[in-house]
Structure 1
């Protein structure tokens, strides 16, 4: 078999000299496709390719990109996942369910334990453990934080970036090696750039964040309002910003929708 020939294995297609096997992927990326439309899928693929090159020996990723796009159905609602293994690349075609508009976050009881927070994939096991702990305490996901300048700085959720309202503007934290560069954040920055409410970059402590309107944003679920918090010891804390947050949520959702376009047939030329 040629190493760039696609092989079907259940819900996955894979390319490479060896099948992925039972090992976890080293790098992943995924995005939502609804009726053949998506939000900047080329950026997800570019992010995947840039980080996969650091971890895997598979040499023909650029060759399979267009094959990946061709195998994503244009009808229905899908959440395809690209996976990089040592000698293979795989596409996992997963049906996408409906996403709730609100979310509860648990403030993790330990600092962010990830070793590669700026890359999607190497820390999947520890991320799954954190999310599992959050669910045990009645939340859907965990808020990750690190001690910066002797204070716990809010970083992101386990699988989502954060946006908050500081009273005048939407804010998200700066890009650095301590969090994943978010394609959904890029979409919001582009769409909100020439509006009265651009998305700014800034930092916030955990305590300050709990008193602000907050949203989680990611490719799978779009915009979700943080309606309540679970403190590290399991105690509840509700968000007091219901009426204000509803209007701001609509602004964010409309801005994200503006970045949706047809899934391209190919990226290479």
Structure 2
């Protein structure tokens, strides 16, 4: 029994040490850094070395951060549907599966997409490899099962600001997903419309996005979130 407890403790410690966080920082400010700190948990660094000018995309780890220049931001997203289901081992913790997700994104980009869709062996959609995914149907916004979806700081900030109703949890299967309007939520790109899917090498145009036909609503939400941005060191 003691050996099993020691092994479990060691595994938990390893899991904690591989946590990461990342988000857009503009002129030393960020959207809801408190949510990132809370999701990460113990060991989150102070970020006192944050650059005060320019746009940055830090990789935050236990004990410090690597300050990387922010890549070019996008306003629309193309998602690639891989032939195999979600490979993550720790879907509710950001970091331990980072290499797997990086490989998926690279493969998605090789197919002309921005990111990869994650779905279960049962065909139920989880989220994107590097973003939350919200669908819109007759009942309003919906997203994948809670036990497979990483908590999205961007989504939570949006809901708490009163800019979107809280999405309900739903089992949306691949075939249905391709017929629904969808938005991605990323701490780097903000909210972006899904405009295309790439399935088995073929481009599938996304459903007519009446929720945001010209990116005006996603752009407005992003702008409103940035209006309330605070110093990245804020707790």
TM range (shorter): 0.7 to 0.9
Give the alignment's Cα RMSD to 1 decimal: 2.2
Which residue pairs with 2:84 in the alignment?
110
The alignment status of 1:49 with 2:41, answered yes or no, reads yes
- TM-score, normalization by structure 2: 0.83
| Residue deviations 1:9-35 (CA, integer Å, cap 9, x gap) | xxxxxxxxxxxxxxxx71100111112
Shift of the alpha carbon at 1:264? 5.1
How many residues were matched structurally? 216
Aligned pair partner of 1:36 in 22, 28, 40: 28
Runs of 5+ unmatched residues, structure 2: 1-16
The alignment status of 1:158 with 2:129, answered yes or no, reads yes
Aligned pair partner of 2:221 in 224, 231, 255: 255
| Residue deviations 1:66-98 (CA, integer Å, cap 9, x gap) | 3x1x211222111122113xxxx2311111133
| Residue deviations 1:27-49 (CA, integer Å, cap 9, x gap) | 10011111233111121122122
Shift of the alpha carbon at 1:199? 3.1
Which residue pairs with 2:104 in the alignment?
130
Shift of the alpha carbon at 1:250? 2.9
C-alpha spacing 1:190/1:173, structure 2 compared with 1 (3 Å) = farther
C-alpha spacing 1:264/1:110, structure 2 compared with 1 (3 Å) = closer
User: How far apart, CA to CA, are the structure 1 residues paired with 2:145 and 2:224?
Assistant: 23
- TM-score, normalization by structure 1: 0.73
Other structure's SS at 1:199 match: coil
* Structure index of larger Rg: 1
Shift of the alpha carbon at 1:174? 4.8
Shift of the alpha carbon at 1:246? 3.1
C-alpha spacing 1:221/1:247, structure 2 compared with 1 (3 Å) = same
Runs of 5+ unmatched residues, structure 1: 1-24, 51-60
C-alpha spacing 1:258/1:153, structure 2 compared with 1 (3 Å) = same
